[in-house]
Amino acid sequence: MHAKDFPPEYLIAVHRELLATIAAGNVADPKATPGWYCRYCTGRLVCPSASMEIELVERKIAYPLPEGKDGEVFIDQVKRVSSLCDQIIKHYKKRLHDDPGCVGIWRISEGDEYRSITDLEGAFVALVSDGHITQDEFMECCDGHIGKLEKKYCNRAGKPAVQAKKEFNNLLAPVVELKRKAGSLEKAKELL
Ligand code: SF4
C-alpha cells in the first residue's frame, strides 16, 4: 500500500495528529496519562509522564499508606512504577551482557543451578534397582520433582545426608541435566 492509496485529507489529519503527539511529549507538563497500556509502550524509558509517576509514588511512600479509593489508585501506580523499574533492570542486564563493566562494579551473576531429569526411564531403573526407592514411590514422585526423590532416597539410605545426596546425584548423573536460571544483578566484591 502506498501514500497515493489514501485521500489527501486523511494524510493531513494523520500528520496533524502526529505533530500534536510529539508536541505533547515535549512540554514540561506532559498530557500523556499513564495507565495499564504503558506495559505495551516501547517509549516508557523516555516518557516524562512515566518518570513523573516514580516521583509521585516516592512522595507517598510513608505510613499510613493510602487506602480506599486513593489506595486503589496508589497500588496501580506502584505496580506501574515497579514494572518500569523491572524494565530498567532489564535494560542494564542487556547493557552489561553486551558491554561488561559499563556500569561500574555491577555485573551479571552466574544464576542459580537447577536439575531436571531428561531420561525418566533411566532414572527409574537407576533408583529402583538400587533398592532404596520402590516402583510405587518413584511413580508418586513422577511430577519430575527431583527434590522429592532425593529426600526419599536420603531417608532410606541410612547414611549421612551429604553422602546420601552424593550417591543420589551419582546414580542420576547420566539422566539429569543441570541448568542455570538467568542471573540477577549483583555488586562485584570491591578490590582491596
Ligand atoms: S509510557 Fe508514557 S507514552 Fe507510553 S503509554 Fe504510558 S503514558 Fe503513554
Q: Print pLDDT tens along the chain (192 aa).
A: 555 567 777 777 777 767 766 666 665 555 678 988 898 888 889 898 999 999 989 888 888 899 999 988 999 999 999 999 999 999 999 999 999 999 999 999 998 998 988 998 999 999 999 999 999 999 888 876 899 899 999 999 999 999 999 999 999 999 999 899 888 877 776 544
DSSP per residue, 34-103: --GGGGG-TTGGG-HHHHHHHHHHHHH-SSSPP-HHHHHHHHHHHHHHHHHHHHHHHHHHHHHHHSTTTT
Predicted pLDDT at 192: 43
Residue with CA at minimum distance from ligand 1 atom 1: 44
Residue with CA at minimum distance from ligand 1 atom 3: 47
Predicted pLDDT at 109: 92
Predicted pLDDT at 191: 46
Residue type, 129: S
Residue 42 Cα: closest atom of ligand 1: 4
The reply to whether 112 falls in a domain is no
**CA 146, CA 18: separation in Å to the nearest integer?**
56
The reply to whether 191 falls in a domain is no
- Indicate whether 83 and 128 sit together in one domain: no
Residue with CA at minimum distance from ligand 1 atom 7: 34
* Nearest Cα residue to 145 out of 112, 180, 122, 176: 176
- Indicate whether 77 and 130 sit together in one domain: no
Predicted pLDDT at 19: 72
The reply to whether 113 falls in a domain is no
Q: Are 84 and 44 a contacting pair, CB within 8 Å?
A: yes
Measure 151 CA to ligand 1 centroid, in angstroms. 50
pTM attached to this predicted model: 0.59
Which residues span the domain enclosing 64?
A: 32-98
Name the grid cell of 70. 486513593
The reply to whether 161 falls in a domain is yes
Residue 187: phi and psi, rounded to 5, are -90, 130
- Indicate whether 79 and 125 sit together in one domain: no
Total domain count for the chain? 2
Predicted pLDDT at 3: 53
Residue 48 Cα: closest atom of ligand 1: 2
**CA 83, CA 156: separation in Å to the nearest integer?**
46
What is the number of other CB atoms lying within 10 angstroms of the CB of residue 179? 10
Measure 153 CA to ligand 1 centroid, in angstroms. 54
Q: Would the CB of 41 count as within 6 Å of ligand 1? A: yes
- Indicate whether 88 and 136 sit together in one domain: no
The reply to whether 15 falls in a domain is no
The reply to whether 109 falls in a domain is no
- Indicate whether 130 and 73 sit together in one domain: no
The reply to whether 133 falls in a domain is yes
- Indicate whether 92 and 134 sit together in one domain: no
Measure 171 CA to ligand 1 centroid, in angstroms. 54
Measure 69 CA to ligand 1 centroid, in angstroms. 23
- Indicate whether 124 and 75 sit together in one domain: no
The reply to whether 181 falls in a domain is no
* Nearest Cα residue to 176 out of 151, 152, 144: 144
Q: Would the CB of 127 count as within 6 Å of ligand 1? A: no
> Which among 22, 36, 38, 42 is the best mutation to test ligand 1's pocket, defined by most ligand atoms within 8 Å of the CB?
38
Can you say whether the dihedral through the CA atoms of 63, 81, 73, 29 is positive or negative?
Answer: positive
Residue at grid coordinates 509517576? 53
Predicted pLDDT at 88: 94
Predicted pLDDT at 122: 95
